[in-house]
Amino acid sequence: MMSSGGYTTIDDQKISGSVPTFPPSEAQGKISGVFRPPPDADDTFSKPAPGSSSDGPQTGGWMSRLTIGSYKPYFDVDTSDVLERIKDSLFPFKATFTEKTANNPDLYGPFWICTTLIFVVAAISAFVAYLAHKWQKKAWDYDISLVTWSAGIFYGYVSLVPLGLYLILKYFSAPSGLVQLWCLYGYSLFIFIPASCLSVVPVEVFRWVVAGVAGFTSAAFVALNLRTHIMSAGERWFLIVAGIFFLQLALAVVVKFYFFTITVGASSS
């Protein structure tokens, strides 16, 4: 074995085939072509990052995934990266999101999208209820539980549904990266932010149209980006993709019914 100029080569006198050479690893910085997530934190759709080796020793195993430090690199992103991924989520038929984020998924965007959505939905729902009561000259009291339910629905959905899908795909021998799924589902919720703002319009049919468009866009974004990968799960791939699609639609229906279907009571102040 010889060393020169920071590069290491291996004498292949007794080794058949070609042996690659590698420069010293300096994978640092924000999300870019040189960024690589921790190898034990995500398997990114079972596709190892270019220049990495799945045969290398991994320390910590599952226990390392329970530490904050193991997920810190996924929050080191540029605003331009987040905006580009948000734009991709609004055009679901491109179905290029998982390809673009295969080696560099982030959790920063999904976290802030979900957190923003929680307060936007709760605030606009309260405002819509206030207007409905005021127009009919009825008493109105702010319902603080709107924030609680909003947080439970969105944080719960974006955390547990990808986790459940992760386990299902492992069962069908089509494993995917858990962080990759969290990233995909997190960005899929962005469409509900402008949809919630449009729900201020006091026309029930219009609100249903907005909820339907948002639900379909979000559902198509997730299903189409996962379809190619899930097809490797065998004959049942269509059922899995259909389940993903309709579950996302169901989220839109729940949001519409619970937060933007206003019933004004009969009592007045």
pLDDT tens digits for 168-226?
Answer: 989 888 888 899 999 999 999 999 999 999 999 989 999 999 999 999 999 999 999 99
Domain spans of the chain?
Answer: 109-266
Query: What is the pLDDT at residue 117?
Result: 97
In the predicted model, what is the mean pLDDT of the chain?
78
Least confident of 41-50, 86-95, 124-133: 41-50
Query: What is the pLDDT at residue 68?
Result: 65
pLDDT tens digits for 118-134?
Answer: 999 999 999 998 888 88
The pTM score is 0.74
Comparison of pLDDT for 205 and 143, the residue scoring more: 205
Query: What is the pLDDT at residue 62?
Result: 53
Query: What is the pLDDT at residue 10?
Result: 47
14 pLDDT exceeds 70? no
- In whole angstroms, what is the distance from residue 223 CA to residue 233 CA? 14
Instruction: Compute the average pLDDT of residues 236-256.
Output: 93
- In whole angstroms, what is the distance from residue 45 CA to residue 259 CA? 35
CA distances for 188 relative to 5, 9, 85, 89, 101, angstroms: 46, 45, 10, 6, 14
User: Binning pLDDT at 50, 70 and 90, where does residue 109 land?
Assistant: very high
Query: What is the pLDDT at residue 134?
Result: 87
255 pLDDT exceeds 90? yes
Comparison of pLDDT for 265 and 95, the residue scoring more: 95
Identify whether the C-beta of residue 242 lies closer than 8 Å to the C-beta of residue 230.
no
Three-state DSSP at 4 gives strand
Phi, psi of 62 (to 5 degrees): -65, -30
55 pLDDT exceeds 60? no
Which of 65, 4, 66, 77 lies closest to 38 in space, CA to CA? 65
User: Binning pLDDT at 50, 70 and 90, where does residue 157 land?
Assistant: very high
**Residues near 15 by beta carbon (within 8 Å), at least 6 away in sequence:** none
Identify whether the C-beta of residue 105 lies closer than 8 Å to the C-beta of residue 177.
yes
61 pLDDT exceeds 70? no
DSSP code per residue over 179-245? HHHHHHHHHHTTTHHHHHHHTTSS-HHHHHHHHHHHHHHHHHHHHHHHHHHHGGG-TTHHHHHHHHH
233 pLDDT exceeds 50? yes
Query: What is the pLDDT at residue 218?
Result: 97
Query: What is the pLDDT at residue 221?
Result: 96
Q: What is the largest CA-CA distance in the chain?
A: 93
